[in-house]
Chain A
Amino acid sequence: MSPSPQSRPSAEGTRPHAIYLAIGFPPAAKSSAYRMRETANQFINAGWDVTVVTIARDSWERDSGIDLSLLDQVDPRVEVVELPLAREDLETDIRLFDEARALNPNGWINALRRRQQKAFPEPNFGEWRGDLEDAVLRIHRERPADLLLATCVPYVNLAAAWKLWEEARVPYAVDFRDGWSIDVVEGVEAFSPDSEEGRWEEKILRHAVSLWVVNDPIAEHYRKRYPDFADRVHVVRNGYDADSSPGRLHAPDPEAGLVFGYLGTVNFSTQHLQTVLNAWRAAREKEPLLANARFELRGHIGAGASREANGHSEILKQAEADGVFFQGPAAKAEVSSIYARWDAMVLILIGGRYVTSGKVYEYMATGLPIVSAHAVEHDASNVLKGHPLWTGAVGVDEAGLTESFVRAAHMAVETTDEMHAEAMAHADRFTREALMSVAVKNLVEDLTSRRGSSTTGGSPS
């Protein structure tokens, strides 16, 4: 069954209205915030009004924190509705705990997750369903919507999209980014079609105007899983923000010590981290160029009670003797200046062929040598193929990575300005603005063409 957009068209002379369910929208310091920001901005550019639905900014304090500088680039015409929702499992105020939670915090959270999934099959977020449904209905009542775009995670957004579809026939599209029924890290099916999640996904996608995912392997998965829906699956890569690029040519100073950098959420395993650090140590011992080098990591580690106090933090702290320094999250506004201080990038990624990450684009745009610390068969490898300053993917292997660090050190000091410029150019096609403007344009066109085919018709643009 194809979507049948029966919602009312926008009033004559007014801009069409999109409700954008984007939990993680700025100022949340989430890696997905950039994509969300650009999406909203591109709708505005396309002549739409946008109402973003997210959760209260205070709630991010217990999660990944907030970065107010992210708001700078949000188009002021974007309206943001913050719902008073928070992840209960990440609560760190013991005064808000009842006795049962205080007695057994982990057991209590497990029970909470089971309870949350009664409303919607998603731990941590399932119980938000009612609030999200009420919110979109209310927004639609106040200002009728022409489109709802739900970006996931959390997947509970889908319930709100469905509600508005059921009640008001507002067409919707889904930005799955990494996909739901595919476990991108393990590269396996996350749930079967007849599971509760499976039924939800099938139901939602059957009526969706469009589905966005971040890379071809994920798109392939969806096209195979839902053949009837294959033409509505689109790859919308993450890309990078032009303003994050250092925008200048590279000038290493081996005397002062080369600086390698990692910027991003620390979401890989401690074992993965340890392997990278072991390779780093070995490379420093082996390569004179690295003897006085530093390896700086910036980003978020852990959440809730274990924020910056988990195994990763401890491993990093212990590695200080090897010139490894963790310096906490970086505000979006600082990113370009941070890249400008670095001489090479260390791309540590989880997963394999289904994972691309947003980092890879940003790293490429720096024009700096890139050490890949991820599986050989990884979508980042596809993106990096042809990059002149890439050490290549050797897997998460200590000896291989040691050589990669050594090679990157030489690249940092030996390559010419032209090669750096060429490296930066390799990323040009991946600016977020370019990617998202196309994606939004296509979505609007899809919607229009479907509307055009319906009796109520009318162009939203």
Chain B
Amino acid sequence: MTEVLLVASARPQFGVLAESVRKFKAQGARVRLAGTFHLEPVAEEVSALGLAEAHQLPRGLSHRSQALRRRASKSPRGLRVWMQSQRDSWLRGRARKADVLVALDPDAVYTVWRLAQYNRGAEAKFGLAAGLKAVETLTAGDGGSARRPTASVLPPLPMVARDVRRSVESLPATLLRTATARPVMRSGVGARLWRTAVTAPGMPVKVRAATSRYVSEGMRWAGRTSGAALALTQAAGKIPDLALKAELLDEAVMQEVSKGIRPRHLDKATATQLAYADAEFAAGRLDTAAKALNRALFLGFHRVLHIDQLSSPLADDAEGFVAPFHRSKVMRAVGRPQGRRVPAAPAPTDRPLRLLIMTSANDNFLRLVQQHYADHPGVELRFLDLAASKHYKRAAWAATRMLQDRLAEGTSDYQEEVERLMRPHLDWADTVFLEWAAGPASMLTTIDPGDARIVVRLHSYEAFTRWPHQTDFSRIDDLVFVAPHVRDLTTSLVPQLRGERAPRLHVLHNAMDLSGFARPKSPEARFNLGLVGLSQVAKDPKWAVRVLEQVRKHDERYRLLLVGGDMNRKTSQATREYRRDFEAELAPLVESGAVVRVGPTDDVPAELASIGTILSSSVREGCHVGVMEGAASGAVPVVRDWPFYAGKANGARTLYPGDWVVGSPEEAAERILKTTSTEEAWRQAGQRAAEHALTEWDWPMVRKHFDQLFLSNG
């Protein structure tokens, strides 16, 4: 089968295209179309073409950096199309496998030209007639799968080797791309040669930067992600100009991050961005300083590093990780406590408390709190979802503008915008309860709260983000955590929380109604291990499979029930990879019946009725609600000593009764086999767990703590 990839930057003439696709197919070709034009309005025409696939390439550069957009606006249209398309993994994958690449219009030619550099075996043609002719020739060659003999179009490796250090400066871009093509970069020698070439002495800065980008691109296409990053890092090492150096290191880190890999030179990249930010700050160029700091924070706290992995640099050495940030002058300026002009007014005694509950989209843990205060005679409740309005949403996550405002000491237009949006709410409210200490917390603390009391709740994931580092906690009165270990981690990360103007810190359990979970369990449930919630890498369901394997060595009646939706592959490459491995591991177990995929459910109590042992396999948690609910249902809790916190003052072992927590799958199996050895033992252990859960975490208990927080004046 001959693979044909058509690339179009403008809406093609569908009649002609349909006719050509028919001819391609008649010659046994499979045809795909990738377009930067808007496919959706012509979906009908596209589907009538009979293509194997049609793919929408990015239609613009709106999600890319301002610098890139600026560069694009000055570039030829062909280059703009390539800038839009080059990172599209669908395009790259299909281009690599194509036998014939066809540009349908002049602005698509450069994209095909570039794709052809990385697939040296493919024909690259301009126009449908030329494409058809190429397929005809290939088909006549050897039944449709013939390709250019790759060896004959390879750049001569000896030429590359011969004094490449000297020649690289004068190599034109075309030759560079040829010499950095995929087959060369796939060979260890080629890749090494080029990496060393970018560090050749005496090379002009611009040439070095451009060369390293070509080399990096070639390596990326050859599947050498780390090599691609290294080429940029090594070139950056020879570049004295801070801005360019920071840019290259940033690109290097992003190469790896986008592949779900923890970058090897993250520290260099963030340090350089910080140094650049400091230099710009010192020179009074606040906007560029803020942008560089934004990149440093973006890279340093990228979710691939901390959220989508089974470990995080923050788990290993939190203070050490954030120290370079807080040492920088620009970060110290951002972190300077502004304080509040007047203290928060005491709760009123002559009228109900005006309570504003705020979140941005996620209100998963607010339901009971809202219900309680909506019906409370002593409270007048308002609710604000920032995600419901684009104005609030835009302001709530405008990281760079927040930094610019901090550096400009509150004189930016961002300040005015937040005033306009938030002041009416602050004027009304006696107390603001902000759920999640993320972007909205940073936004809210941009302005003085007046005499409103500000209460913010930090669950867990926020500690692994940039947001606490650009939130002014001196304008927050109370910071609520859901568990002591999260409090410990956060205070170790954020200097403001250790200072004199730190807010009061509280630990309040999540609001959970556990009363409805106590449902009768059948005797068979004894052998059912359950995991509720597996939508994030941090839930590490593979650990649960290890536990299952251990117990099944002793008794094959044990099964694992997986309750909840799957991880979203689109979250990140790291997530995609974890899920792929997990699925591969799971497939035979599901087939044999050892694992049952229950999937998402609205009725967790009903599912828990058939679960005898509730597992927490996570590498980190704030408080694992699924385990608490499981315990309340009478399932025996078996909790992994969450590795992020294991060995620290607080963690799973201090949050739960000690005998629930295990250090390894073997220990987990041991506890399961022991507690479920007989039906009676199992039911007794479950009963004890349910009692503990209801006494400690049920809403009637936790509610008192909330009332105390909001309604007592002291």
Contact = CB atoms under 8 A, between A and B. Distances in A.
B129 A103 contact: no
A14 interface: no
Given A61-B133, A92-B130, A94-B125, A309 B13 contact: yes
A304 B127 CA distance: 7
Nearest to A315: B15
B203 interface: no
B15 A97 contact: no
A35 B631 CA distance: 96
Given A103-B110, A318-B15, A94 B128 contact: no
A308 B128 contact: yes
B116 A314 contact: no
A97 B109 contact: yes
B515 interface: no
A317 B127 contact: no
Contacts of A91: 126
Interface residues of A, number: 32
A307 B130 contact: yes
A93 B128 contact: no
B124 A95 contact: yes
B124 A317 contact: no
A306 B126 CA distance: 8
Interface stretch (B16-24, B293-301, B368-376): B16-24
Given A313-B15, A317-B16, A318-B15, A102 B130 contact: no
A431 B79 CA distance: 54
A28 to B, nearest CB: 16
B174 interface: yes
Contacts of A308: 16, 20, 128-129
A438 B471 CA distance: 97
A102 B127 contact: no
Contact of B127 (A106, A305, A314): A305
B106 A92 contact: no
B694 interface: no
A314 B103 contact: no
A98 interface: yes
B126 A313 contact: no
Given A99-B174, A309-B16, A317-B18, A105 B133 contact: no
A90 to B, nearest CB: 10
A102 B103 CA distance: 10
A41 B527 CA distance: 97
A61 B109 CA distance: 20
Contacts of A97: 109, 113
Contact of B78 (A103, A307, A311): A103
Given A305-B127, A308-B128, A314 B16 contact: yes
Interface string A360-386: 000000000000000000000000000
A104 interface: yes
B124 A309 contact: no
A313 B127 contact: no
B41 to A, nearest CB: 17
B246 to A, nearest CB: 28
Residue of A91, A95, A311, A318 ringed by the most chain B CB atoms within 10 A = A95
Contacts of A107: 76
B443 to A, nearest CB: 43
A307 B126 contact: no
Nearest to A107: B76
A313 B16 contact: yes
A305 B682 CA distance: 76
Contacts of B174: 98-99
A54 to B, nearest CB: 21
A84 B663 CA distance: 78
Nearest to B112: A94
B173 interface: yes
B109 A94 contact: yes
Given A92-B125, A311-B13, A99 B18 contact: no
Nearest to A109: B106
Contacts of B130: 62, 92-93, 305, 307
A314 B15 contact: yes
A35 to B, nearest CB: 26
Contacts of A316: 15
A308 B112 CA distance: 20
Given A94-B113, A99-B174, A313-B15, A104 B127 contact: no
Contacts of B78: 102-105
A62 B101 CA distance: 17
B154 to A, nearest CB: 13
Interface in B92-138: 101, 103-104, 106, 109-110, 112-114, 116, 123-130, 133
A104 B124 contact: no
Residue of A98, A304, A314 ringed by the most chain B CB atoms within 10 A = A314
B124 A313 contact: no
Contact of B76 (A61, A103, A302, A314): A103
A278 B367 CA distance: 67
A316 to B, nearest CB: 8
A316 B17 CA distance: 13
Given A308-B16, A317-B15, A317-B16, A104 B76 contact: yes
Given A104-B76, A307-B127, A309-B127, A99 B16 contact: no
Interface string A70-111: 000000000000000000000111110111011111110000
Given A99-B174, A102-B78, A93 B124 contact: yes
B106 A309 contact: no
A92 B127 contact: yes
A213 B103 CA distance: 41
Nearest to A102: B113
Given A104-B76, A305-B130, A95 B116 contact: yes
Contact of B13 (A61, A101, A304, A313): A313
Contacts of B133: 61
Contacts of A94: 101, 103, 109, 112-113, 116, 124-126
Contacts of B128: 307-309
A270 to B, nearest CB: 11
Nearest to A319: B15
Contacts of B110: 102-103
Interface in B128-154: 128-130, 133
Nearest to B128: A309
Residue of B19, B79, B114, B129 ringed by the most chain A CB atoms within 10 A = B129
Contacts of A318: 15
A103 B78 CA distance: 5
A99 B13 contact: no
Interface in B66-97: 76-79
Given A104-B78, A313-B15, A317-B15, A306 B127 contact: yes
A302 B77 CA distance: 24
A97 to B, nearest CB: 6
Nearest to B104: A309
Interface in A299-350: 302, 304-311, 313-314, 316-318, 320
Contacts of A99: 113, 172-174
A296 to B, nearest CB: 15
Contacts of B125: 92-94
B113 A307 contact: no
Nearest to A318: B15
Interface string B562-588: 000000000000000000000000000
Nearest to A317: B15
Interface string A103-131: 11111000000000000000000000000
Contacts of B79: 103
17 contacts: A92-B125, A94-B112, A94-B126, A95-B116, A102-B78, A102-B110, A104-B77, A106-B106, A304-B126, A305-B106, A307-B129, A308-B16, A308-B20, A308-B129, A311-B13, A317-B18, A317-B19
Interface of B: 13-20, 76-79, 101, 103-104, 106, 109-110, 112-114, 116, 123-130, 133, 172-174
Given A94-B101, A102-B114, A309-B20, 9 more contacts: A62-B130, A95-B123, A97-B113, A99-B113, A302-B129, A305-B130, A308-B129, A313-B13, A314-B14
